[in-house]
A and B are shown apart, each in its own frame.
Chain A
Amino acid sequence: MFEELFPVRLLPILPILIPLASALIVGLIGSISRRSYVSKIRDAVAVLGFVVTLYSAYLLAKRVIDYGIQTYVYHSNMPPLGVVFVADMFSVFLVVIFSLMGTIVSIYSLGYMKHDTGLTQYYTLLLVLIGAMNGVVLVGDLFSLYVFYELMSIASYVLVAFRKDNWEPIEAGFKYLVMSSAGSTLVLLAMSYLYGLMGSLNLGYLANAMLHATPQPIFYVLIALIIAGFGVKAAIVPFHFWLADAHPAAPSGISALLSGIVIKTGLYGIIRVGVLVFPIAIYNWPLLLSIFAVITITSGNLYALMQQDLKRLLAFSSVAQIGWIMLAFGTGTQFGFAAGIFAIANHAIVKGLLFLNAGAIIHAIGSRKLDDMAGLGKKSPIIGAFVAIGFLSLMGVPPMTGFWAKLLMFFSVISVGGIYLVFAVIFLLNAAIVVVYYLRVLFKVWFSEPVDDTPIEEGPTKSMIFALAVLSLLTIVLGIYPEFLWHFANSAANALTNLSQYISLVMSP
């Protein structure tokens, strides 16, 4: 359908261009007037922009599956000077997830944000955020990657502090800004060093040069800088402080995006740069990543155990989940990569569901406190059902995606052997801890007497229910038939381990 409207040559940049262009249009429409029909048109255009983005992402994915890696050279300059956009399976997998989550959150926001003002800015920033994230995973050189990364970060700072009448979002947004800029600085430092050493920032040239370079101490410093710099966005412990403030303070749709996908871009940076520039066979950086990972899992879970606030609990649970995903990537094997990519999709869907549902809960009872949620399942069975689906999936109950994600990650860790067996034991201990705090929420919602008989203030609107239902169905259906997701995760992992084609195409598209 309409496939001819999407020129094949432009496909690798369409998932970036379309949201950015839509952002412009939304901004223009929104500034025409404040009448209600204008804002309705504006909202519709925003959602439409996301749907078209998703469709272009789908076309790109289809193209990559059928014909292999796609490239697009911006400007007539060839690399190493020109900017190369390159879509392999790993990028495309993430682009589809980002666009899907963006679409769902935009639909959700139609109902959720209707009491807020400044929605023009909201939708514009949302579109910029998704466009920039697609850019991060689609570019083939470090400088452009950094540009899109910063664009994404700036959009997300503003979105965190979107409800600027309260103190909490402002403080959280500021904290996030400071921490994240510090991280970006480290990344920039590492990049400038690499440029000084190699004379190019094109990932293909870098990979090629580093393959033949003799290891020097400075390379290990660069690895550390890359992991720490991107690790701030990925909320690796000990760089996670901002997350517990920023994710709860943002509007729920934004929390879902931040926790579900934005933190994955940090991980993407580590993995993409690490795999290409620092070959695993020479520099054993996955082990470092694994050590960070087990610390992240354990502390994320221990923090989450103590939370009384639903969104903070979910935020810390995200820290733990990102740790799990890092541990899978930290195995350095194709199986581990595939398991980690599977888990990225799972976490995006499930954490998206739970944060969006937290928004529905805030509307329903006007509170984020766990204690106020007692008996919510009775008052509003539909919200309760989403709570149950989300938490059970995160807990790893078959047949939902969370079960497969955990199982595959566990297998990937245990099959490495050696020190990873210790990590596997820590993995299991943490799998036991999460049951405790997820059960706490589940029991609160479903098996507690309500504190009072007041009915819920405001039920979820149709658009919110639609968004939540899509995510719930995804986690259940993809869990009943995991092979679909696994197939793509596996080919994405394959793209990460067989790099020669990527390298040669980025060098000479």
Chain B
Amino acid sequence: MVLFNLPIISQYPLIITLGILVIGAILAALGGRKSSTAAVISEVFIALAFLINIILLYDIMGDPKTGFLSGPYTWLTVFNVNIGFWADGLSLPIAVMILGLSFVAILYSQIFMKDLKRPQTYYSLMMLFITSMIGTLYSTNLLQFFAFYEFMLFPSTAILIWYGTSETYEERKQNGLKFFVWTNFGALALMVGVAAIILATGSTDLLSIGWSLGTVAPELMGLVQIGSLLIVLGFAVKMAIFPLHMWAPTTYKEAPLPLLLLLSAAMTKTAAYGIARIAIPLFSPNLASYTTGLLIVSLITMYYGALAALAQKDLKMMLAYSSISQLGYLMFGYATLNLYGIEGGVFHIINHGLLMGIMFVAAGVLKMQTGTLEFSKMGGLAKKMPLTAIAFISAALALSGTPPFNAFASEWLIFEGSAAAGHIWLTIFAIIATGLTAGYYLWAVRRIFFGVTPDELAEVTDGPKPLLYVLLILTAVIVLIGIFPNSILHYIQPFLSAIIGGG
């Protein structure tokens, strides 16, 4: 502990972070009859949690292998289930990113959704959603992880149905149900996989899962294989990997923009984190033979997302499909099962989260100022909204893999990984997909920010100040990460090289 020596906080920083978020949810529910009050309460508590995590991140900068552990506390004696909270170089950067984005999402709701019905419900559900995502990242136990992971579904489904964008209630209900059923069945697959792993290894400890494989009897290795495949399947549902992505387009279409930001930039990342933390240690020794298949599936996801994005007439849906496509990159990195690829994948979690944050905030500003997100009704907005344009274009360039933005480094690592795994052709196809990404983003930039301004938009000005600051800060962050990729990589590398070896 370098920065702060307060007696209790320095001992239980993670429990306190979760506690702060839960208290925020309760206070927002109790005191938030006015929309702005509920929003401010949520913002304050998220900011506190964010601050704690930033300090923790700073503290472990010198030696990212160390982490913060609270617990373990006995939860259930059968299978020695202990509950505990752990944050290290792998989870802390993601936690900081998710908390930061959560703050943005709440701020954004405050500005855009002033006339919410029952704001206390909305904000407390958002807080619960955020709490469960952070809880997932901190978990030290497979069952604890699953508990938080599953719990995430309920607040998000409720927000989706109560505050969805569709006109009719029936439609919202249908889309919400689709989201719930798909992701719930993903969770069921995850649960069965976890059960198989627990039976084979006799341990429920999440952090040592790769090491506990050494003690598994040879005849149980089949169980481990089935278990790991089911775990990946479960996570793939939430990451919307083709062909398990069916829930994603309708859900993204339905979700209000702040929720969409959290769904696509934060929630899918908990699944990506889960793969890195749980599935990769299980896979890397046993299942190298699945690499090719997973690479191809990821490649299909990339192309599917990119081509669908190209066909959209509406910015929101284009971003949604782009998100699917980008998670294909992430999975592509993971599927290589070597250090470069996985490191690139984990790095891409953070990069993609930040970039999606910029994109959705920019989209929200555009929607608010122009009243539309359809490409055909926009044009020439670069002059009217210069700051938004700068942020949007930077993020678009970053997503297309342009240096010196952040995603360049992660995509480079991902492709280096697949090349090192010997899949030259697949790598070439993946790089071509990056070209497609550049294509649809730059086309979108062209249609929104350049060309002729429609007459209706002649009076448009740049968005509200707080959001512009957010955009500029996020843009600065992505440039900084792009210039100094090692600032993040040195956090994630130690854990990954410990499980993969080398590096």
Which residues of A are at the interface with B, using a C-beta cutoff of 8 A? 335, 338, 392, 397-399, 403-404, 407-408, 410-411, 414-415, 428, 431-432, 435, 439, 443, 446-449, 481-483, 486-487, 490
Contacts and interface: CB of A to CB of B under 8 A. Distances in A.
A404 B154 CA distance: 18
Interface of B: 74-79, 143, 146-147, 150-151, 154, 158, 161-162, 169, 173, 176-177, 180-181, 184-185, 188, 191-192, 195, 198-199
B78 A486 contact: yes
Contacts of A404: 76
A407 B188 contact: no
Given A335-B78, A410-B195, A482-B75, A432 B151 contact: no
Contacts of B173: 443, 447-448
B177 A439 contact: yes
Given A482-B75, A486-B76, A486-B77, A398 B195 contact: no
16 contacts: A397-B154, A398-B143, A398-B146, A404-B76, A407-B143, A410-B195, A411-B78, A446-B158, A448-B173, A449-B169, A482-B76, A483-B75, A483-B76, A483-B77, A486-B77, A486-B78
B195 A399 contact: no
A338 B181 CA distance: 31
Contact of B188 (A411, A431, A482): A431
A428 B151 contact: no
A447 B161 contact: yes
A494 to B, nearest CB: 13
A435 B177 CA distance: 11
A398 B78 contact: no
Contacts of B184: 435
B198 to A, nearest CB: 8
Contacts of B169: 447-449
A414 B220 CA distance: 13
Instruction: Tell me the interface secondary structure of chain B in the complex.
Output: helix
A482 B181 CA distance: 27
A484 B175 CA distance: 40
For the complex of A and B, list the 4 residue pairs with the smallest distance between their C-beta atoms, beginning with the closest: A398-B147, A447-B161, A447-B173, A482-B76
Contacts of B162: 447
Nearest to A399: B147
A440 to B, nearest CB: 10
Considering residues B158, B185, B191, which has the most beta carbons from chain A within 10 angstroms of its beta carbon? B191
A435 B169 CA distance: 22
A398 B150 contact: yes
A112 B146 CA distance: 39
Nearest to B198: A411
Given A410-B195, A486-B78, A428 B161 contact: no
A338 B176 CA distance: 37
A404 to B, nearest CB: 7
Nearest to A487: B77
Contacts of B143: 398, 407
A397 B192 CA distance: 14
B150 A483 contact: no
Given A392-B154, A443-B177, A486-B77, 16 more contacts: A338-B78, A397-B150, A398-B147, A398-B151, A399-B147, A407-B143, A411-B79, A411-B198, A415-B199, A435-B184, A439-B177, A439-B180, A448-B169, A482-B76, A483-B77, A486-B76
Contacts of B188: 428, 431-432
B223 to A, nearest CB: 10
